[in-house]
Amino acid sequence: MFRFILADLRRLWAGSVVIVILIMLATALGVAVTLEERALRLGSARASEKFDLVIGAPGSETQLVLSSVFLQAADLPLMDGDILPALQADPRVAWAAPIGFGDSYAGYPIVGTTAELITNTTPGFSDGGNFTHLGEAVIGSAVDLSIGDTIKPLHGTIESGGHTHDELAYTVTGKADPTGTPWDRAIFVPIEAVWEIHGMEAHEAEEHDEAEHDDDHEHDEAEHDEEHHHLDPAAPLDETWHEGETPGLPAILVKPKSIADAYRLRQDYRGDHTLAVFPAEVLTKLYATLGDAKQVLAAIAAGAQVLVAAALMLVTVIHVSQRRREIGALRAFGAPRGAVFAIVWSELFLLVAIGIALGYAAGLAAALAVARSITAERGVSLPVGFTAADLGSAAVLVATAALLSALPALIAYRQPPAAALKS
């Protein structure tokens, strides 16, 4: 019987290939949607797991998390910088580190922060070590630079009229181990250097004396630029800013000492002047939106599969009708009805099973390709792979295919041999 089936499929190879391709494409769409949605949830959750609490100025919770954790460029409002030393002195806080944005180099975001944050958020260094001077930088594992390379920060983008800062050039002193997060594509520099380059202290002073010195604003700014045109990259980092007025900050990453401390800190810093959020909580809201999108795509995939199944049933029923003489001949030569049923069912089920298997392989390949693209562009490592639930879904799909394949087989089973030969 198997040789007969293979010979029949070879004779009808064109139609068989079309059936397999249709099943493969319909299956691959649903598989790719499922795998990619799950990979996005797992990857984003892993990217934020080291950041328990983020504090910034009042505004969008989502944008605060996207900018601080996922390093998506945005103009975040600044909060009072004195909140930083207050947090660092808080007994409920294990560590608190500022982050400043705005500059980039060769498409990589430059993040101003402290050596403490790098120590607490990276597994270690694959080469070199942490920065200790004003003009030093640490690069993520995915940054295509080497120890000793020079970095001149670009403010904004070239397309939007950005400019290169000539006041200071950073030298790469360390390369961090991979973390599987967007921070792998980041360049970390001392927050003091970011403040100096952007004249943050002078800006604070100007705002403080704005009513008194408004006429001399442009003159003071020019004087500041001249004064800071050449910063000493070998200047050791000091933390005198802990004792004085700290410049404004877009965000502070906080590691509470306990879960209870985390909730108390979030409550204390949610008010008119600051916004405290749990990144995991914000991501949960995003997952709800992502889940809605997944439902839409899953519905489209299911609809495509139903249409393909209906088309296949129509094709196979027509195919059986066109083979009535052949089926009648088999019955006339003594083939029992069960054998005819088995032949027709086996042919169609074999094609559908091959299509499903190829569809799962194609869906996995498509999800991996999308994941690699997102990782290369955003730095988020997306774990794409099958789970036990996927195997269960595949089993249900195969069982459904087995039932649907029985319809044309049943038509052939009930076909009288005499009538088939007469037609």
Q: What confidence category does residue 290 fall into, taking pLDDT thresholds of 50, 70 and 90?
A: low
Give the separation between CA 385 and CA 367, rounded to whole angstroms: 9
Q: What are the CA-CA distances from residue 290 to residues 18, 168, 172, 272 (Å)?
A: 34, 42, 38, 30
Domain coordinates in residue numbering, the chain: 2-44+285-422, 53-277
More confident residue, 356 or 165: 356
More confident residue, 263 or 322: 263
Burial string for 292-316 (b: 16+ CB within 10 Å, else e) reads: eebeebbeebeebbeebbeebeebb
Which neighbouring-strand residues pair with 175?
127, 139
More confident residue, 180 or 156: 180
How confident is the model at residue 353, as a pLDDT? 87
Torsion angle of C-alpha atoms 265, 271, 274, 279, degrees rounded to 10: 60
Q: What confidence category does residue 366 fall into, taking pLDDT thresholds of 50, 70 and 90?
A: very high
Look-up of token digits 């039932």: 403
Our measurement of the distance from residue 314's CA atom to the centroid of its chain's CA atoms, rounded to an integer in Å, reads 41
Q: Is the pLDDT of residue 225 over 60?
A: no
Q: What is the pLDDT of residues 82-120, one digit of tens each?
A: 899 999 999 999 999 999 887 888 889 999 999 999 999
Percentage with pLDDT > 70 across the chain: 73
Per the CB < 8 A criterion, the answer to whether 151 and 137 are in contact is yes
Q: What confidence category does residue 187 fall into, taking pLDDT thresholds of 50, 70 and 90?
A: very high
Per the CB < 8 A criterion, the answer to whether 382 and 39 are in contact is yes
How confident is the model at residue 161, as a pLDDT? 57
How confident is the model at residue 412, as a pLDDT? 60
Q: What is the pLDDT of residues 26-48, one digit of tens each?
A: 888 888 888 888 888 888 888 88
